[in-house]
Amino acid sequence: MNKYSIAEFIKNTEQVDRGEGFFELETPRLLEVNLDGLVWAKAGSMVAYEGSIKFVREGILENGLGAMFKKAFTGEGASLMKANGQGKLYLADSGKKIIILHLQNEAIYVNGNDLLAFEPSIKHQIKLMRKVAGMMAGGLFNIRCEGTGLVAITAHYEPLTLRVTPGKPVITDPNATVAWSGNLQPEFQTDISLKTFVGRGSGESIQMRFEGDGFVIVQPYEETYMQVQS
């Protein structure tokens, strides 16, 4: 068979059932959800589906009045949808790499832009980074996922996990920070010296400082959803 034929292309790229369960990575950047009920997913992340599936955007009052105000403040970045039904659902987000995590009565904070999907057994809550509301425009939120079940997050390129241990804090660029363990509460700090570097203009003068015992996941890429206000 000709290696450039349509038949060969289909053979090399067609969907394959691997029997991995509810979440299955079809490719490093495309998530298959074997749906028989409900899944939460990032709004706009559906690229294809088979079967009978209905999509409903998260109701503005679904998580209470407080969540409504948070949504109004944070904009569309944290918008979620519910997919309900039976079939195969394919999710992706701007070609970012997908990481599947199985929480076992655990909690993790995920940057609101990097949460792709999670099982309904996982409780989620939008958290505002209030202390930097006056300094930063956009990207001021993260989502706390807690419980037992699967969570899919995304990262540009290959993620790196840094361990945080007592007495050895980890400082990160907010634009490159993907997720961190649920017991850590980052503080924000400014570095005046970095303001002299124009560079990419992505706000390196604002940093996240993690102290305690846990981990933080970063990516080798700075997303521009978080900017220093002029």
Read off the pLDDT of each residue in 6-35 and give the average, rounded to a whole number. Answer: 93
Q: What are 64-119's pLDDT values in tens digits? A: 544 544 444 444 445 889 999 999 999 999 999 999 999 999 999 999 889 999 99
Read off the pLDDT of each residue in 1-6 and give the average, rounded to a whole number. Answer: 86
Q: What are 29-40's pLDDT values in tens digits? A: 999 999 999 999
| CA-atom Rg of the chain in angstroms | 19
- With helix as H, strand as E and coil as C, how does the chain read? CCCCCHHHHHHHHCCCCCCCCCEEEEECCEEEEEEEEEEEEECCCEEEEEEEEEEEECCCCCCCHHHHHHHHHHHHHHCEEEEEEEEEEEECCCCCEEEEEEEEEEEEEEECCCEEEECCCCEEEEEECHHHCCCEECCCEEEEEEEEEEEEEEECCCCEEEEEECCECEEECHHHEEEEECCCCCEEEECHHHHHCCCCCCCCCEEEEECCCEEEEECCCCCCCCEECC
Q: Amino acid identity of 66?
A: G
Q: What is the pLDDT of residue 189?
A: 84
Whether residue 136 has pLDDT greater than 60: no
Distance CA 99, CA 89 (A): 17
Q: What are 177-195's pLDDT values in tens digits? A: 999 999 999 998 887 666 5
Beta-bridge mates of residue 106 = 147
Whether residue 137 has pLDDT greater than 90: no
Distance CA 192, CA 190 (A): 6
Instruction: Indicate if the alpha-carbon torsion angle 110, 188, 195, 215 is positive or negative.
Output: negative
Provide the phi-psi class of 51: left if phi over 0, else alpha when psi is between -120 and 50, else beta: left
Whether residue 138 has pLDDT greater than 80: no
